[in-house]
Amino acid sequence: MDYVEQRMAQEAAKPAVAADSSSLLTPLNLLILGLFLYTAYSFFKPQPPAALPKEEPAVVFTTFTPRTLLPYNGENNAPVYLAVRGRVFDVTRGRNFYGPGGPYANFAGRDASRGLACGSFDEDMLTKDLDGPLDTLSDLGRDELEALQGWEDRFSEKYLVVGKLVPVGDE
């Protein structure tokens, strides 16, 4: 036991040594320091200001006749409007469908009620006389009126109503 006591006394007599820098630079300590610095940077880094979405321009409710609706067919970067049962919808967001070159392009700037009800995109479904009376759709059957109602509901959900379609003389 004397040896153990002697050795303990020798160690106790040695001056206390401060930790040297090489013992602090271990890979684990460097990893912890790196994680701390990354977390601090992520927390304190400046955030870009929040950008508000661009507002759509205000739309004024307008009364259209078939002739005044015609220019809104999407050509020359114009808005795309179409009418269904006297309600004029701004379908510009659907320009790929209703604008020039789209599958429903012949309805742009026109009363599309009969064509949508009959499921026909033919030119003969459109009113030829732009200064005449509006199509009353009185000769359509129940199935065609239901189909038209489905289209009108879809347009009401997706697009803004920007006006009403009236015959010439009622504007």
Q: Residue 123 falls within a domain, yes or no?
A: yes
Cβ-contact 152, 117 below 8 angstroms:
no
Q: Residue 141 falls within a domain, yes or no?
A: yes
Chain segment 98-141, per-residue pLDDT in tens: 999 999 899 999 999 999 999 887 887 887 788 888 888 888 89
Q: Residue 142 falls within a domain, yes or no?
A: yes
Containing 163, the helix (H) or strand (E) segment is: strand 160-165
Cβ-contact 104, 110 below 8 angstroms:
no
CATH number at residue 66: 3.10.120.10
Q: Residue 86 falls within a domain, yes or no?
A: yes
DSSP secondary structure string, 95-108? HHHHSTTSTTGGGT
Q: Residue 138 falls within a domain, yes or no?
A: yes
Q: Residue 104 falls within a domain, yes or no?
A: yes
pLDDT, mean over the chain: 86
Q: Residue 13 falls within a domain, yes or no?
A: no
Query: What are the residues whose beta carbons fall under 8 Å from the beta carbon of 67, sequence distance 6 or more?
Result: 130, 131, 168
